[in-house]
Amino acid sequence: MANYSEAHICQCLSRLATLRRDSTVTINGDRRKTGMQFVEGVMGLAHGLLQLGIKPGDVVSISALNSDLYLEWMLAITYVGGIAAPLNYRWSLEEAKSAMEVAQPVLLVTDSSRGYWHSKFQIDSVPSLRWHVLMDMPDKADTSGTVFASELLKEPSGRSDYLWAPERAAIICFTSGTTGRPKGATISHSALVVQSLAKIAIVRYDEDDVYLHTAPLCHIGGISSALAMLMAGGCHVIIPKFEANLAIEAIREHNVTSLITVPTMMADLISFNRMNQTCENFESVNKILNGGGGLSVELIEDATKIFPRATILSAYGMTEACSSLTFMTLHDPTQNNNHLRPHDVQKSNLSNQGGICVGKPAPHVELKVSAEESSTTGRILMRGPHVMLHYWGQSPSKHLNPVYEGWIDTGDIGQIDDRGNLWLIGRAKDRIKSGGENIYPEEVEAVLSQHPGISRIVVVGIPDSRLTEMVFACVQLKNGWRWADFGVNHSPEDQIQCLSSEILRHFCRQKNLTGFKIPKRFVLWENAFPLTTTGKLRRDQVRAEAMSHTQFMSSKL
């Protein structure tokens, strides 16, 4: 028997149907919906899914650009006890198939956007799929296994109660593993609700907010902030994907009050605004939450000029933690203190010992550092109601290290100072964070190593003011090959035995490596790569030398 006192993300629908009944809840281009219209859309899809045969525990994947329809689908899937499994539209077709092999969805929902993997997808390439639905096409069903959302939208015959999947799972959100293959973090309704409540409490979302969707709804940051705003009862302004011009236009037109960014987005907003001769500032914006990497001092200073009334916060988190673990206020326009670091961080006993301060944990989050004797630095561990159930298809205990007795290893290295602030020192597995995306060097190296001219390659992330980290590849060539940047005129024979940055980028694209994973810089590495005494690569030393090379080349320009 269902226990309706338990958390369910669709509990926000009652609030929207009453508090926002006749007020606008979603703005998507020319399409506006009131709270009641939005709820009716969710309920109509839910009824259609039940008629189609979706049962509690069935997985439904979604690949689409952001829209109000995406939000309705996510809620409708979970309403009937299904598990929503968003897929990144920026993936290659091979990556998407790999994720679906893990999740085993019975239904794939896509939009009609072109140029992404889902526009060339064939349903029979994934054995578990029974249906493919286009969410935004009003046409009739065809004979290829594709149906259309208009065929599913039904007038509910009396409102049925929401259902739960086994383990109270709500969403499978994909993250890359150490080998780069997608792993599905299975996240419960209660984790999503408690994370939303934390954001409402700390970021202070409320019913008067006009929230701009800048993050994709296939990422945990975009999902959790969207759910927080649904629970708060604010208005959603939705653009298909982040582009600085679209975001600025939406802020101006709709008097947006809140948005989330990663450093790349913030840099693009600032750059676009500088190109605009009027150099506007947007006083409607009063809260900005940044994730996916720290904002530099310069970015914070520039952000306060175009968003003069905004409180700017940063968050550190991960998919397995249902988004944010810690929060920190970078700038509060109501306070007359230094906006580049909160007051207590300036006085911390670790403030001059390196690393990046990411603030204090949210109220529901427990953090500790597993450090070696006589050291305060170690692996950052977490536990609490926000933690994923498990990776989809794995037992709940498999992601737990018995050494840590129930605590989950974040994979990051850090310290906690005497004021409770968490400081990040590094990443245990050398993960690269570029433009808000996680990139694993091993995956990029595996693709480039297939080129016949490459003997050895090491990929590292080096600091970049726009991307947070830039993917940088250090190349060793096989005998008989040489490194050259070609001009316009060169013979085909030259290309056979020569390599250049452009040739290797083209090779990555041919191998279907996702665009943001392709190295931005390549450099010929003429010395041996540094190794430990046991023969393991010292990636930290490679990174340091790569940074020196970059600085040297910049000084010559």
Please name the residue ranges forming H helices in 233-262: 244-254
- Would you give per-residue pLDDT tens digits along the chain (557 residues)? 577 789 999 999 999 999 999 999 999 999 999 999 999 999 999 999 999 999 999 999 999 999 999 999 999 999 999 999 999 999 989 889 999 999 999 999 999 999 999 988 888 889 999 999 999 875 444 445 566 666 666 665 556 799 999 999 999 999 854 345 678 999 999 999 999 999 999 999 999 999 999 999 999 999 999 999 999 999 999 999 999 999 999 999 999 999 999 988 999 999 998 887 666 889 999 999 999 877 888 899 999 999 999 999 999 999 999 999 999 999 999 986 544 454 445 444 444 445 688 999 999 999 999 876 667 888 899 999 999 999 998 876 665 665 567 899 998 888 999 999 999 876 777 778 899 887 878 788 889 999 999 999 999 999 988 888 999 999 999 989 999 865 434 454 555 689 999 999 999 999 989 999 999 999 999 888 987 544 568 888 999 888 887 765 544 44
Query: What pLDDT is recorded for position 413?
Result: 82
Torsion of CA 160, 166, 167, 173, to 10 degrees: -90
Give strand ranges (E) for 125-257.
131-134, 146-148, 169-176, 182-188, 210-213, 235-238
| Residue-range domain boundaries for the chain | 9-22+31-188, 353-429, 432-556
Beta-bridge partner residues of 163: 80
Contact 172, 433 (CB under 8 A): no
Q: How far apart are the first and last CA of the chain?
A: 70
Q: Tell me which CATH code domain 353-429 carries.
A: 2.30.38.10
pTM here is: 0.81
* DSSP structural state of residue 158: S
Q: Which positions ≥6 away from 553 have C-beta within 8 Å?
A: none
Half-sphere exposure of 62 (CA within 13 A, CB side): 30
Half-sphere exposure of 437 (CA within 13 A, CB side): 19
Q: Please determine, looking at this structure, whether the domain spanning 9-22+31-188 carries the CATH number 3.40.50.12780.
A: yes
Q: How far from the centroid of its chain's Cα atoms is residue 552's Cα?
A: 33
Query: What pLDDT is recorded for position 136?
Result: 87
Beta-bridge partner residues of 237: 27, 212
Query: What pLDDT is recorded for position 412?
Result: 86
Query: What pLDDT is recorded for position 486?
Result: 52
Identify residue 274 by its one-letter amino acid code.
Answer: R
SS3 content of the chain, % helix, strand, coil (to 5): 30, 25, 40
Q: What CATH superfamily is the domain 432-556?
A: ANL, C-terminal domain (3.30.300.30)
Contact 395, 403 (CB under 8 A): no
